[in-house]
A and B are shown apart, each in its own frame.
Chain A
Amino acid sequence: MIHEYDALIIGAGGAGLFAALEAGTSVRTAVLSKLYPIRSHTGAAQGGISAALGNVEEDKPEWHAFDTVKGGDYLVDQNAAVILAETAVQAAYDLENRGLPFNRTPEGLIDQRRFGGHTRNFGEAPVRRACYAADRTGHMILQTLYQQCIKNDVSFYDEFQIIDVIFRGKKCGGVVAVELATGNIHLFKAKAVLFATGGFGRMFGITSNAYANTGDGPALLLRKGVALEDMEFFQFHPTGIYGMGILITEGVRGEGGILRNRGGDRFMEKYAPGLLDLAPRDMIARAIMSEISTGMGIKGDRSITDFVHLDATHLGRDVIEEKLPEIAEFSRTYLGIDPVEKPIPVQPTAHYAMGGIPTDENGRVVDGRGRVYEGLYAAGECACVSVHGANRLGTNSLVDLIVFGKRAGMDMANFAKESGHLALSENTVDSAKEKIARLMQPGKGPDPEAIRSRMKQLMTENIGVYRSGKDMSAALENIKTLREDYKQARVRDTGKSFNTDLLQILELGNLLDLAYVTAACAARREESRGAHARMDFPDRDDKNWLHHTLARLRGDAIDIDTKPVEITKWEPKPRIY
């Protein structure tokens, strides 16, 4: 089947839905998702959305922008950070005006709480900037946006998984997708295509990410020759539930929760005497791993699987039930631990991709020389503006989705009004059909579960919180081998309709490609910056490494190029909290 739209959005999370709402006001728009939209991972976000409203204490967008730049260890493109911080204010009001049920101050204003790395007056002290809805802010945002899409009659194609992107030169003409319900292949022609496919934490063993987060957008574009930016920067959220990776929001610490080691000590006093437990996430993740490696984890066995305690017992039942009910539920359900009574065992969990598809400030995908791919857009976690640099501050992702999702939607609509479709023939889907046919061939391929487990193990052990050159290089070679094995992959279920086996094998291929690029970029960067921490190069080296990485797949090899960081307001300084 062939469908034609002016604007096509791939992914129905916060960024995709906001872009659809925006573009849909003026051009013929549709949203494709491999899930039902309300199942998207935005719904799992907990802590809050940051905006310098100043409802509880004085705040300014300039401070927010600075915190974002410093939080990103100065790899942030500073104009993008300014746009984020300035636009965030109206974005928060916009969401509220659309019905989002924020928690409220006694005066009836949107309530705000503290969050890691967010400060007043350029680092003076923590500031209450995170607007929140209990600890299910993401759920509320996703639901509100989906409700608005219903109100505005947005067209949805639910459970369609993209398998190819169509280009002619540098102009994007649409995508090819497989319909889960029937196994049929569809061609979606569009004048403008936005990728908002989210993150790819499923490369790792322990992750906060949903099963669906397999980086389909970046992987497809990578295979079409688009370079991906800053792939070495992957955030490990410090507080995932021990052994499971389920996220326990930073908001617990925003409400006063404290991390404690085996001795019951507030160990962040050593690592970030200023912000303590509200230091940026990468610093806290490293602090936890350091405590563990010196035998101060709760088990005390120095193993990578040890954990620390997140103590919220002093917050009181009222605060927990009203402001942190979700994580209380997780803790009770999965651990049998009531955070009102006992501390929660936590450890770092693979959480967020700072890197991804490079874009300009309007969501347009760009190449290494800043030239725009016509009709190609990206927004949300899969994009790299770069507004998060080497490490993302909590609550900045939800803002990112709204601000840059909207900008992309606006630009797409304007672009679509001025352009035409690519002339595409029936043969356009042939490449995708061949790929599926290859996977459906009879005969036994390698065990996909073995490939998947090995990839996760390699990534978790070698491209984790602390990295070293030797381990990364070895992992890189092993991942290359896994990619070779994958080439012989076959589905084991040859059914046509609702073939989840086929979709999971396609997803595995995407994860392998992204793991490959991530490992290569990580091995190359010989410094420590933000979330990329090297034991063999423990210092930040602005002289040689203050640049973005651009990685392109050429055959089976990876070419790495660089591009400058946009530094307009704040010169890089040592990142101390």
Chain B
Amino acid sequence: MDIKELMERAGSQQTGKIIAYVKDGLEEINMLTETHTKLERFDINKDQRFYIFPNEMVKMIDIRVKNHLNSKGEYRTIPRMIHKPVVKDADNT
């Protein structure tokens, strides 16, 4: 289905508004069920604690780190901490 057909079904001729709502709707659908997933890898830097999520991310599924509890180079899911560690990051970046 293209946007034109969707507009006809919804009974609207306002293209810009419908495209905005379609984008909202796609995000809403992906919050409830997972239609499109992506895997991104990025570098871990020594002494850098904070990393920024991808901008297009709607929902996080999993976080894995290389060599977590193994020495075979496997990526394994890491646990989420309930409490923040007492040792703070030096530069808070």
* Bound together: no
Which residues of B are in contact with A by a Cβ distance under 8 Å?
A: none
